[in-house]
Amino acid sequence: LKAREAEAKSSAGEFLGMSPSDAGDETMVGEDQTLEHSRAAWVPARASKDFNLLYKLLTKLDEEKNIQKNPVFGDIGTADEAEALAEDAKNGMLDKLLQYAWKVHGLDYYGAKELGFNEFKVRKDGTYTRRGPKPDDLGGAEQELEGAGKFFKDLELKWDTRVFEGDQAFKLVGKERLEKEIAQYTETQVQCIDGNKFMCKLCTKLFKGSDFTRKHISNKHSEILEQIRGKILQDIYEENFLSDETFTEHEKEYKELQASLDAGQTFASPGLEAVRQPPRPHQRRAYFDLDQPKQESRSVLDYGDI
């Protein structure tokens, strides 16, 4: 998360230094990069909806990555000012928001895709779904917009959900769960005595209020809380690991390999069938006791023969 945040901030700074012509560049890289309903996306009413949703989405993304100043929003103004912009103005600013979303946050708005951690660097050189150049004539675009109603409805639902639920990566870190379980543990270490006194179970000190006791536990017993915190994090990371689909695949491969070994089979190179090998005879290795006294091999002389 920290590495991604640093990369996003760096990209935001680079975006701030771009010229207006570069920031609005709509050079097409390939036909697959053009939105299928391109003409419908240029209809002022549709572009206004996309602008409002994208503005709200980028505000959420900037907040998650601690980007204090959005270089694009400076030209637009506050959320209320952005909402009050005319449809033509929103239509003209939309392409810059689309490019910022991809270059900084790795979010392809019309492609309904957000890059994960492993793909995040792709946003620098990769391509995203664009509206394409503005048509000279929007005749019939309204009818095309009606035909693309399901596409845009699904698009709005996806990004509205993203704004409401936030980044799923934060759930993997378990920040909310961690704080909740630490608070629950702290509460179990506070005992009320005589209705007006509260004791810390960790050291039996008494306090006038439960708040003072919780603060005491947080300040004076931080080492114990760190141990509890470490255990909770270990549980969270273990659950993340076990819920990973790739782990179940590796586990299946491991069990199959273990079963074959238990059956006395060894596998040759890939593509060849398993061949059962006869058991090898057990060969005893020579054993030398290093602690045993050395045996004298010299012959004993009889001095009577001299």
Strand partners, 276: 265
In the prediction, which pLDDT does 263 show?
76
pLDDT band with cut points at 50, 70 and 90 for residue 298: low
Encode pLDDT of 26-64 as tens digits.
443 444 477 888 888 888 888 889 999 999 999 999 998
Q: Rounded to an integer, what distance in angstroms lies between the CA atom of residue 191 and that of residue 197?
A: 8
Q: pLDDT over 90 for what percent of the chain?
A: 27
Query: d(Cα 216, Cα 185) in Å, to the nearest integer?
Result: 14
Mean pLDDT of the chain: 79
Place of tokens 């045996």: 295
Query: What DSSP line would sit under 234-296, residue for residue?
Result: HHHHHHHHHH-HHHHHHHHHHHHHHHHHHTTEE--STTSPPEEPPPPPP-PPP---TTSPPPP
Give the separation between CA 110 and CA 51, rounded to whole angstroms.
12
pLDDT reported for residue 214? 93
Statement: residue 274 has pLDDT above 50: no
Q: What is the pTM assigned to this prediction?
A: 0.60
Q: Which residue has the tokens 């608070």?
A: 183
CA 193 from centre of chain: 46
Residue range 162-177, pLDDT digits in tens: 999 888 877 777 777 8
